[in-house]
Amino acid sequence: MNRRDIFSRSIAFWGEEKQDLLAKKTIFIAGVGAVGCVVAEILLRAGIGRLYLADRGFTDPPDLNRQALYTVNDLGKPKVSTAGQRLKSMTGQTEVIPLEVNIGEDDISGALSGCEGVADCLDNFPSRFALEESLTKDMFMVSGAILRDYGQVTTVVPGRTVSLRELYGGFKHVPKTVPVIAPIVFCLGSLMAQEILNNIWGEPQLQNTILVAGLAGFCFDLVPLTPTENP
């Protein structure tokens, strides 16, 4: 199948130069749950060259209300293998590499070494902090979080932006059952995917800025962030 035909509508908007650049880039998706499914699918349909999918979970019934890559036929199966198979069947233009790993416990440095950026789609603070500590200074990470009908997204670059520890260091652990609805999942995943594209093209919009979205009142706010100065 002709690659230019598949991405013709995107090329008509952002041009062949950006499309060709995407085909050369690799993104690490940390967590293939609700937001991770959306981010992965959008990047693949945009024409990203390679995706690493990192997760150690299995599909459960509560996942089906918001995790777009899974169906009732996938219950009890590892998420990364199911997501990988589904993504590979979409365009045939992206290399998809599933990694059944626990971020914070397993070594992911080998996979990260070949990536331009990371999508933080995790659901707990210890894993987020461990992921951040694995970044090299030339990598970017787009981090997203959701709760109820709210979401927020920001870009993290080591040594240049506010860190996740500065943002979330005072937060307690997330409860086991987190209230969340599908609309904010798809909204925030789309925003994260767009900011990843922005970073790839050298046009980041959310460095030292956090975008907060609230769907009940259709509220979107950009909040400036100030990094802590080194003593």
pLDDT digits (tens, 9 = 90+) for 124-146: 999 999 999 999 999 999 999 99
176-198 pLDDT tens trace? 788 999 999 999 999 999 999 99
What pLDDT is recorded for position 88?
97
Give the C-alpha separation, 116 to 36, whole Å: 17
6-35 pLDDT tens trace? 999 999 999 999 999 999 999 999 999 999
Residue extents of the structural domains in the chain: 3-224
Residues 6+ apart with CB under 8 A from 35: 121, 144, 146, 185, 188, 189, 192
What pLDDT is recorded for position 169?
77
Mean local confidence (pLDDT), 66-94: 97
28-74 pLDDT tens trace? 999 999 999 999 999 999 999 999 999 999 999 999 999 999 999 99
Query: What is the reported pTM?
Result: 0.95
Instruction: For residue 29, give Cα distances in angstroms to 50, 95, 206.
Output: 11, 13, 18
Burial 54-63 (b: 16+ CB within 10 A, else e): bbbbebeeeb
Burial-class residue 81 by CB neighbours within 10 Å (0-12, 13-18, 19+).
middle
CATH among 3.40.50.720, 1.10.3720.10, 3.40.50.1100, 3.40.50.261 for 3-224: 3.40.50.720
